[in-house]
Structure 1
Amino acid sequence: MLVWINGTFGVGKTQTAYELHRRLPGSVVCDPEYVGLGLHKMTPRALRSDFQRHPAWRQGVFEVLDLVLGKHKGVVVAPMTLVEPAYYDEILGRLREAGHDVRHFALVADRETVLARLRQRSLSLRREAFAVDRLDDCLERLRTPAFAEHVETDRLTVPQVAERVAAGAGLSLAPSTGGPLRRRLRRIGVTIRHIRL
């Protein structure tokens, strides 16, 4: 099974993905952003743009996920903002056509909640300019029926969001362990591992 966790930048996709991974034995996180980062590293700076616009990114993500889903026995979790319906069909639609069990969840929250999370993530919204510039468009698109199933995250903790996603996918999670300090340290660890310089 593929669990694609969609949502605007800063809503908690990566944190939720790693919470699912931690509580689903045998699962793996396959982050489509790494395909895009590879494309950026291979192209001159003047040619770099939103990597999702490159057919090579969409084809690469499809091929990697098709490979992993075909060979890996556990759940595959992919956290990635994807708001263009044609790109959704090109990746997730093709994976379904290839016979894979694809579950899609869009994490949504109020604009103020997402801005607060972005501030918490980087201490400055200037460093999050790309995310802030696209925020309203992403929130509007993700709330449409095309991107259901929606998970409202405003008043939920990361473990609670993961539990909602797992329940929607029919998955049983191991119990959430550790107190508030341990959960906070885990979230900080995930954030540090995903800092893009």
Structure 2
Amino acid sequence: MLLWINGPFGGGKTATAYELQRRLTDSVVCDPEHVGFGLHRMLPPGLRTDFQDLAAWRQGVHEVLDLAAREHPGPVLVPMTLTDPRYFAETVGRLREDGHDVRHFCLLAERETVVRRLRRRGFGFGLKHEKWALDRLDDSLTRLREAAFATHIATDGRSVSEVADTIAQQAGLPIAPDTDGPVRARWRLYRASVRHLRAD
């Protein structure tokens, strides 16, 4: 089974994916951002726009996830924002056409909640380094609320652990209980935020 975890930038996708990996036996996180940032590194800085617009990204993501879903014995967890229906069809749609059991979940929250999460992700710098996410937030929230991007999961006032529980339950996957206390849960959230730091 492949679980695609969609949502706006700052919506908790990566934290949820790694929480699921921690508690689902044999699961693995396959992050399509790594394909995109690899393509960016091949391009001059002035040509680095949204890597999802590159056909090479969509083809590469499909090829890698197709391989992972065929050969890996456990759930494949994919945290990635997708708001363009055409790109959704070229990735999620093609994987389903190939016969894979792809479950799509879209994490949604009120705008104020997402901005608060982005500010927390800024490590004391506020929203200074989150311009990309903020510039796309309103459009992302509007698009992702459409029926084409269901199943929707509201995350306002819910912990990462609770969201992971909901996804596992709806996917019919047995998930280990969360035994973390508040300090360890905060540490895991911090580690998930660090994953978004890029040197380039």
* TM-score in terms of structure 2 length: 0.97
Segment of structure 1 superposing worse, 137-146 or 178-187: 178-187
Equivalent residues in 2 for 1:147-162, closer than 5 Å = 147-162=149-164
Runs ≥4 in structure 1, deviation > 4 angstroms? none
Give the letter for the 1:35 counterpart.
Answer: V
Give the letter for the 1:24 counterpart.
Answer: L
Shift of 1:109: 0.2
Shift of 1:166: 0.9
RMSD, aligned α-carbons: 0.8
Name the CA distance, whole Å, in 2 between partners of 1:191 and 1:108: 18
Show the counterpart of 1:187. Answer: 189
Instruction: List per-residue Cα deviations over 1:47-94 (Å, max 9, x = no partner).
Output: 110000000000000000001111101000000000000000000111
Name the CA distance, whole Å, in 1 between partners of 2:37 and 2:4: 19
Structure 1: which 5+ residue stretches go unaligned?
none
Show the counterpart of 2:142. Answer: 140
Q: How many residues end up aligned between the 2 structures?
A: 197
Equivalent residues in 2 for 1:32-51, closer than 5 Å = 32-51=32-51
Residue 5 of structure 1: SS of its match in structure 2?
A: strand
Name the CA distance, whole Å, in 1 between partners of 2:73 and 2:159: 29
Equivalent residues in 2 for 1:1-197, closer than 5 Å = 1-122=1-122, 123=124, 124-197=126-199
Instruction: List per-residue Cα deviations over 1:104-160 (Å, max 9, x = no partner).
Output: 000000000000000011032121000000000000000010100000000100000
Name the CA distance, whole Å, in 2 between partners of 1:191 and 1:111: 19
Residue 106 of structure 2: SS of its match in structure 1?
A: strand
* TM-score in terms of structure 1 length: 0.98
Give the letter for the 2:36 counterpart.
Answer: G
Residue 10 of structure 2: SS of its match in structure 1?
A: coil
Name the CA distance, whole Å, in 1 between partners of 2:192 and 2:137: 22
Structure 2: which 5+ residue stretches go unaligned?
none
